[in-house]
Every structure is written in structure tokens, then in C-alpha cells.
Structure 1
Amino acid sequence: MGTCASKQPPKPNPYAPRDAPEYSEPPNTTPNPTTPRRRPFPPPSPAKHLKAVILRRYGGVKPSGGAAIREEEEEEGLDKSFGLAKKFDSSFEVGEEVGRGHFGYTCSAVAKKGELKGRKVAVKIIPKSKMTTAVAVEDVRREIKILHALTGHPNLVQFYDAFEDADNVYIAMELCEGGELLDRILARGGKFSEDHAKDVIVQILNVVAFCHLQGVVHRDIKPENFLFTSKDENSELKAIDFGLSDYIKPDQKLNEIVGSAYYVAPEVLHRSYSTEADIWSIGVITYILLCGSRPFWARTESGIFQAVLKTSPNFDENPWPSLSPESKDFVSHLLQKDPNQRLTAAQALCHRWVRNHNKVKLQLDALVFRLMKAYMRSSSLRKAALRALSKTLTPDELFYLKEQFALFCPDESGGITLHNMRMALLKNVTDAMKESRVFRFLDPLSALQYRRMYFEEFCAAALSVHQMEVLDSWEERTRCAYEMFEEDGNKVIVIEEVASELGLSASVPVHTVLQEWIKHSDGKLTCLGFVKLLLNQSFARTL
């Protein structure tokens, strides 16, 4: 649900075929090609799960075009008190309705007193009668907590206060009067210039990188959930509607299928996902902005899901041949099927297509902490392999690592310790970061209490082998890295050491599995063994 000041009548979407549904219809609406989906959609395996999700979240509703689902009685003993201020009516004068979603509606309002006195705001009103399940109540409670914790970022709608009475919850927010990003896409005929697309995408990446560092995944990134502050061509873009957002702890995966069909990531459909799902959605938006069509399309929702899972975006048709190679490279890296091979928001901001834009705000990347944890737990053999591979990094790839290293504020010697990392997180701490336990990233790095890590080692520790694996130059790089490894790090292999590195159990015929890894002449790693060692996690999954 938006907080924009005025809602224009639905417009035909130029980047959708006329006979294709623009979005899947939310419950209780007449099918309409321009009706945006605001709440969770069903997985490819259909009706039974859809009914369960709808009933669990909202109580009884009618799916569009179908028979009524039996209304579920409100859960017994449901606590709908939020501990919020009770004096909404004395604080705001409510004006006209400016937006409506399944779970509530948004009105303009004017503050009657306090610091906001006389200022126009947006008020999201959520009837408690809609909250018939504990999950629905928790969704509202979490949305308020997340908005309160994250407010202040320039690309996130400003949260002012929240209230409640016997009937409703009220969330007072900044009023954005420039309309939705979707409206501007439609007004421009469905396509932006590269410069205008960069301006939009950089602002989206800025706020998403911030959310991800805080351990918050939005889960509904789409053009309708970004508003411009004014009608001015250069006005700021703001993320809104955190109703589906959730906290995500280090190494945690979410499994609930939520979001909007055209923007859903493959791993969401597989029910095991993290912050990378938001990046996929940004990739879809970027594709649309640049070429005016969607990367994944079908006439039905299940068809869309199959396209997301099995097809690749088309970069051969117009206007892609006339666009910069950097723009195509950028989008393709955001739309990698494997989330481990997808760029993070912080990495995307360092991509050569956008990194010189004046609105780029670089953030610490949680991926760095995860990769460093894996590095610190690796054997000396794998660390040597990673050091060799890091020497093949290009200036573009080193740019991101230099920026991340600088955010840890190295000491006079040029090194960083656990203290530097803790202080870097503390500079960005919010209540959301505490809720998502982001500081747990530091636990496996305790060895850095007693020594420094310099940039050369940091490059080995923080490079993503999975992301490098999809590069056209992967084979050439691994050959070069292996040659350096032969000179500096290769040694006679102890089979048990490599087996331990891979987490192979005693039941696995280790010698048979690893025999092609080792040269019979001197007992050292072969080039194949070197590559498999770098990719040890994916290799272990294939055994």
C-alpha cells in the first residue's frame, strides 16, 4: 500500500502484452490487468497451499474468480494490543484516502501538535478486525519495529509515530507526493535512458544495502513500493511498505513464499532464501527500466514461475544491442539463478556501470563477514589456493574489495583486527541490527583479536569463488592461479586433510573420490584438484 498523495486511474502498461495480466489479482478483487498484488502469492503447486497461506495470514477471503474460502473464526485469546500511544485523533486530522491495499488503507493527514504541527503526513490505517491470526498481528508488529529502527535513511520513507485504538493501528509516515516509480515507468512509455535508470537503481540499491546490513530483507521489491518525494524530475526515491519484511539472522534461511510474481527470485519458489532474493527483484526492475519489457513472462502465474526457474533473460532483442555492455553485464549479474553467484547490493554499487554516480552510498557488506568466516575455518591448503586466486582479480573486482577494506578503517600499519570490524558495525548499528543478531558474524573471527589482517590476505578471505565461477575468464584464471599455487602453496597432500576440508565422512570412499585430485608423480594437487578445493562446498554437495 502506497503513501503517495494522489492515485491516478489505472493505465495500460506498455511493457506488458495486452492479453497478459499485469499482476496477479489480490483476493476479493475483480480480475484487472493493472491491479497490483500487495500480498503473498501462491507457489507453482497451487490451491491447497494458497488457501492455507491466505487463511493463516488474513482469515477468510475470496480468491479472485473462485469460490469463497470458508471464513475462519478469529483465533482464541488473540492479543491485538500493541502498546502504542492512544491519542491519534488528538494528534492528526485525517484527510482523503490516497491508497488502499488488502490489509488496510492510507490517508493524507495534518499534524495538530508537536514537532510536526501543520505538516502533511501519510497515515497507514490497519483495522484490527483484519487481524484474525497471530501471524497477521505479528506482521503489523514487525512492520512498525522495522520502520522505527530503519527510519532516517534518505531513501526510506520517514517514520514519525504509531498509534492504536480499539479499532485500528495507525502508522504516521512521510507523505511522498511524487507518485510511484511504476507511474513514471508508464509515463515514459515503459523505458528509461541509461542515465535515468542508473539514478533510480542506485537509490534502490542504497536503501537495500542498508537494510541488508541491518539484517532486514524487504521481500517485496517492485516499482509500486518506491515513491518519489515530489513531482520534480530529480526528486528522491523512497522505499515503502515493509509489511512483508522480516529479520534474517546470520546463516538463516526464510521459507515463506511472499512477494509479487514478476519479481520473485528462484530460491523463493524453492522455499530457501535470504537477502539475495531482493537483489533478483532489483535485477528485474533494472531490466524493465532499460528495455521496457519483463525478463520473465507468461500468461499464467504458474507459467511465470516456470520462466523464472528455467529461462534466461533475453539480451539479444532491441534495444539491448544499442545499450552499453556494462548495463547488460550489470543486469546479468543481478539475475543469476544461483543466489551465491548473484551480486550483493554493496557489490552492485561498485559495479562499473553505476559506481561513479553521485548518489552512490557504499555500505559494509554482510557477505564479507560470511566469506571471512569460511576463510578462517579453512585449512592452510585452501587458504593458499584462495591467495593464489586473489592474484587474478581485475582492477574492477579489486575496487569493491578496496572500498570494503577502507570501511573497516585500517590502522597506521594498514591492517585490521577484530576491533576494527566491531567498530565498523557499531557505526551502523540500529535496533534492527540487534534484532537480527548481525554481531554474530564476528564470532568466528575471534582469531583476529590477536593479529592483523592486511589487504592482500583480505582479498583472499573476502573474494567469492562462486561469483568468479560464472565469469567467462574462470578457466583461464584458475590455470593462472594454479601456476602461482604450484610455486608458492602446493605441497604433498595428506588425503585425510583434504577429506576433512570437504567434510567427507568415513563412509565415503575417500581415496577413490580424490584420486584424480592428486598427481601420481609427486603426490601434490592437480589443477582439477586445485579447482575442486576452491569450490569445496559445491563439490561436497555432489558426493
Structure 2
Amino acid sequence: MTTAIAIEDVRREVKILRALSGHNNLVHFYDAHEDHDNVYIVMELCEGGELLDSILSRGGKYTEDDARVVMIQILNVVSFFHLQGVVHRDLKPENFLFTSKDENSQLKAIDFGLSDFVKPDERLNDIVGSAYYVTPEVLHRSYSTEADVWSIGVIAYILLCGSRPFWARTESGIFRAVSKADPSFDDAPWPSLSSEARDFVKRLLNKDPRKRSTAAQALSECLIYCHKLVILMILKFHSQLSTAGHPWIKNYNDVKVPVDILIFKLMKAYLRSSSLRKAALRALSKTLTVDELFYLKEQFALLEPNKNGTISLENIKVALMKNATDAMESRIPEFLASLNALQYRRMDFDEFCAAALSVHQLEALDRWEQHARCAYELFEKDGNRAIVIDELASELGLSPSVPIHSVLHDWIRHTDGKLSFLGFVKLLHGVSSRTFAKVQ
């Protein structure tokens, strides 16, 4: 450690470790001391070795069940430090250690040397991390916490099939593959794995960070699947199964999905939307499946709604304070200011679903067309009305400089003056003057 930058990097790592202490899947930080030559960091001893060693000892791949155990632990801790505003930037099997030589022991995330603090709307631009696990947006120098989720997707891919999703002989070749190639799900063992496993990895390895699952969402998906397995086993074995001591229940009963920082970004955009877009989002929310609603129900419950089933700005404040570490506490006023529209009113679960759903993530699903068509039919019955182009432009808050007739003409049906399906889908995505500026 000879440069001022290197010294500052270690000091930042110590600051992050201090701020994040307390999670079961995070290496325990005790203290740090600095003299004229070195910074000494005292941390928990993990004697079980790296996750990478475990992968190699198994001949390169895990069973789906064993991979799920690993994924739940990784997603649990990553969703925790994402909520606190920390991005790791170097997630890989070498940076997860088992606490003991028993592979059923806990995994601990380590090595925050490349980590940094990031605000919800902030984008980082440093190209850091390990080549095989780096995400396309890091290479494009504009990224946030979604970059960690991509790295988790690479780890999941390796766990399940024993090979890397992107490979080349040189670093530049790896970067080209990450940017342009798609991971293969055709070669063995992928055809023999469950569709749930393939879909799970695909959602993590989506090149568009807006369509990628968050760590909290991916954790929720894992837990839904585990709960279903437990129910199936109970039905299958009935009295022969002692459910209280079953490994599925033992392993996952204590895992709780944390508040997802994404919902506050989505709620902020919703509260600032036009009444027309809010109506469109409400229609879309009514098409969500039971599994998609499971995540939103969990998030709504974490905000501790009142007995009448509604949340206010005060509920959100209490939930944030309850989950905050030193890393996050100073940012809570900024969060609350962005949701100030809730100061004088309350939001029920139905509206929360409309506010907290991600159109981009739904768009990445195979059933997106079905979602959109069903939502449009509902919108036709409840919210669609005749609207002239000038009124639509005003509703969207477009500036006078936008050539509204040339860019909005296909939004409205000429037969009855109502919003077309194309206009409805564009409205869902939250178009703005900035979007139309690109058309000019």
C-alpha cells in the first residue's frame, strides 16, 4: 500500500464494514487500526474455505437444491447492503467464505475493497471488478446496484452447469462476449434442469438493468419456490413428514426479504405521473399473477400499514428507520422528500401495486404481451376516454417545443379519439419531454 488512492480505498472499505455490521451472511468486522505503514483490519475467522473451492470439489456443479441454498444466502446479504446504499462491485465465488469446513455452515460475504456508497438515482462510472463477473453497464461506465445482481447471475449459472456464461482467452474477448453474446441454455445440463432454474438465471443475466430482477426480488422468487416445495412434500408424505424439523423449513424460516429500494424509486415516479398514466398502471397491476403479487404483498407488509390497510409517509419513515444501518440513516430525509406527495394522503394495497410494479421487468417476461393486452382491455372499460392530441400533450406535460402531432398521432385511435394500444404501452413506460426530444 504505497499510494494515497490505495490508502483511501482501504479506509473506505473499513467505513463500509463498520456501517454494514450485523448481518448473518456478512463477515463480522471487529475493529481496524492504522499506523504509519499499514491499515490492520480485524475480522471473523472463516475456516471453511471459498465457495469456489466447494464448486471445484463437486466437479464443477451443484444440484438445484444445493444451488438454491447458496443463492438464498448470497441474495439475502446483497439485498441487505443494497438497501443500505452499498454496491459491492466484485461479487464472485472467491468472495464468499464458509464459516467452517462443514458445507452446511453459513456463507459470509467478504472483500469490500472495491465497494462504494451509491444513492438511488446515482450512476457510477469506474470500470472495476473481475472480468468474468462484470456487467455490460459497467463496461459502458454507467451503473448502480444492478451490477451486483448480474454478478450473482453469473455465479448461479456456474453453480448449475459448471461453466462460465461468458468466456474468451483474453480480457478484451470476455468483455466483448459480456456486451454482445447471450449465455447458452441449450447445452447439458440445462435441458435437464427445471424451467424455474433457467428462468431465474435469465432474469439475473438480462443485459438491460431496468429489466433485471433486484436482489430482493430474486430472493423472494427463491423463497416462493421453497415454500411450494414444502407444501408439495407435506401433501405427498402427510403424516410421515415431520415438517417442523425438515431442512427446507429449517433453512428458510428465518430468511426475511428486506425492503427493496426499487419500490421507492418506482413510487416516486408514480406519484409524479399524470392521472392518465396512473390509471394505466392500475389496469396493469390487476393482471399480476399470484407469484408476482407475493413480492408486492411482502413489500407492503414491511411498510407496516395501519389497521385500515393503508400506508402513509410516516409508515415509510418508520420502516426505513427500522431497517437502517449507519450507512443508510443519513439518506432517509432524501427518500422521504422524494415521496412528499404522500404527506397528506394514504395509499392502499391496490394503489401500491400500481405504484411499485416495474413495467420494464414485466416487459422482460414471456407473458408480457398477455399482461399488456389484458391491461388494455381493463383500461378500455374503466379508464379510456376520448382525448385530443393537444389534451394528451398537456396530460403528459410536454413542452411547446415538442412536435406533438408528429410524435403523438399513433397514440390515439382515429375512429373514436381514444388511446390506442400502442399509446397505452408507451404511457405505461412513463414517456416524458426528454423522450420526445430524441425524436426531433
Higher alpha-carbon deviation: 268-277 or 308-317: 308-317
Distance (whole Å) between structure 2 residues aligned to residue 484 and residue 259 of structure 1? 46
Distance (whole Å) between structure 1 residues aligned to residue 390 and residue 150 of structure 2? 39
Q: How many residues align?
A: 412
Task: Please name the residue that 2:138 is paired with.
Answer: 268
Task: Please name the residue that 2:169 is paired with.
Answer: 299
Task: Please name the residue that 1:132 is paired with.
Answer: 3
The counterpart of 1:255, out of the listed 125, 131, 144, is: 125
CA contact (8 A) 1:502 1:540 kept: no
Q: 1:131 to 1:424 in 2, by over 3 A?
A: farther
Task: Please name the residue that 2:211 is paired with.
Answer: 341
Task: Please name the residue that 1:492 is paired with.
Answer: 386
Q: Is the partner of 1:154 in helix, strand or coil?
A: coil
Deviation at 1:354, TM superposition (A): 4.8
AA at the equivalent of 1:447: A
Distance (whole Å) between structure 2 residues aligned to residue 147 and residue 475 of structure 1? 44
Q: Is the partner of 1:227 in helix, strand or coil?
A: strand
Task: Please name the residue that 2:82 is paired with.
Answer: 212
Say whether 1:415 aligns with 2:310. yes
Deviation at 1:432, TM superposition (A): 0.7
Deviation at 1:480, TM superposition (A): 1.2
Say whether 1:363 aligns with 2:258. yes
AA at the equivalent of 2:257: L
Distance (whole Å) between structure 2 residues aligned to residue 344 and residue 503 of structure 1? 30
Task: Please name the residue that 2:363 is paired with.
Answer: 469
CA contact (8 A) 1:250 1:438 kept: no
CA contact (8 A) 1:384 1:485 kept: yes
Distance (whole Å) between structure 2 residues aligned to residue 459 and residue 146 of structure 1? 33
AA at the equivalent of 2:259: L
Task: Please name the residue that 2:22 is paired with.
Answer: 152
1:188-212 CA-partner distances (Å, limit 9, x unpaired): 1110011110111110001000000
Distance (whole Å) between structure 2 residues aligned to residue 423 and residue 472 of structure 1? 37
Which residues of structure 2 form unaligned runs of 5+?
A: 228-247
Distance (whole Å) between structure 2 residues aligned to residue 487 and residue 410 of structure 1? 30
Q: 1:500 to 1:293 in 2, by over 3 A?
A: farther
Distance (whole Å) between structure 1 residues aligned to residue 326 and residue 226 of structure 2? 29
CA contact (8 A) 2:407 2:436 kept: no
Distance (whole Å) between structure 2 residues aligned to residue 327 and residue 504 of structure 1? 43
Q: 1:443 to 1:222 in 2, by over 3 A?
A: same
Structure of higher CA gyration radius? 1
Higher alpha-carbon deviation: 350-359 or 174-183: 350-359
Deviation at 1:302, TM superposition (A): 0.8
Task: Please name the residue that 2:338 is paired with.
Answer: 444
CA contact (8 A) 1:191 1:290 kept: yes
Task: Please name the residue that 2:230 is paired with.
Answer: none
Deviation at 1:504, TM superposition (A): 4.2
Where in structure 2 are the equivalents of 1:111-510 lying within 5 Å?
130-133=1-4, 135-351=5-221, 354-356=225-227, 358-359=251-252, 360-434=255-329, 437-499=331-393, 504-510=398-404
Normalization by structure 1: what TM-score? 0.74
Distance (whole Å) between structure 2 residues aligned to residue 354 and residue 346 of structure 1? 14
Q: Is the partner of 1:297 in helix, strand or coil?
A: coil
Distance (whole Å) between structure 1 residues aligned to residue 393 and residue 212 of structure 2? 28
Q: Is the partner of 2:339 in helix, strand or coil?
A: helix
The counterpart of 2:405, out of the listed 511, 526, 529, is: 511
AA at the equivalent of 2:272: R
Distance (whole Å) between structure 2 residues aligned to residue 323 and residue 222 of structure 1? 23
CA contact (8 A) 1:150 1:430 kept: yes
Q: Is the partner of 1:341 in helix, strand or coil?
A: coil
Q: 1:459 to 1:306 in 2, by over 3 A?
A: same
Q: 1:482 to 1:200 in 2, by over 3 A?
A: same
Normalization by structure 2: what TM-score? 0.90
Distance (whole Å) between structure 1 residues aligned to residue 308 and residue 160 of structure 2? 45
- Sequence identity of aligned pairs in percent? 71
AA at the equivalent of 1:450: Y
1:364-400 CA-partner distances (Å, limit 9, x unpaired): 0000000000000000000000000111100110000
Where in structure 2 are the equivalents of 1:54-69 lying within 5 Å?
none
Q: Is the partner of 1:197 in helix, strand or coil?
A: helix
Task: Name the one with the larger helix percent.
Answer: 2
Higher alpha-carbon deviation: 348-357 or 510-519: 348-357
The counterpart of 1:528, out of the listed 409, 422, 433, is: 422
Distance (whole Å) between structure 1 residues aligned to residue 141 and residue 85 of structure 2? 19
Deviation at 1:179, TM superposition (A): 0.3
Which residues of structure 1 form unaligned runs of 5+?
A: 1-129
Deviation at 1:476, TM superposition (A): 2.0
Deviation at 1:540, TM superposition (A): 4.4
Higher alpha-carbon deviation: 473-482 or 492-501: 492-501
Distance (whole Å) between structure 1 residues aligned to residue 67 and residue 311 of structure 2? 37
Distance (whole Å) between structure 1 residues aligned to residue 438 and residue 204 of structure 2? 25
Task: Please name the residue that 1:48 is paired with.
Answer: none
CA contact (8 A) 1:250 1:440 kept: no
1:54-94 CA-partner distances (Å, limit 9, x unpaired): xxxxxxxxxxxxxxxxxxxxxxxxxxxxxxxxxxxxxxxxx
Distance (whole Å) between structure 2 residues aligned to residue 450 and residue 469 of structure 1? 33
Q: 1:179 to 1:376 in 2, by over 3 A?
A: same
Distance (whole Å) between structure 1 residues aligned to residue 37 and residue 395 of structure 2? 58
Higher alpha-carbon deviation: 442-451 or 319-328: 442-451
Deviation at 1:361, TM superposition (A): 2.5
Superposition RMSD in Å: 1.6
Task: Please name the residue that 2:239 is paired with.
Answer: none
CA contact (8 A) 1:391 1:481 kept: yes
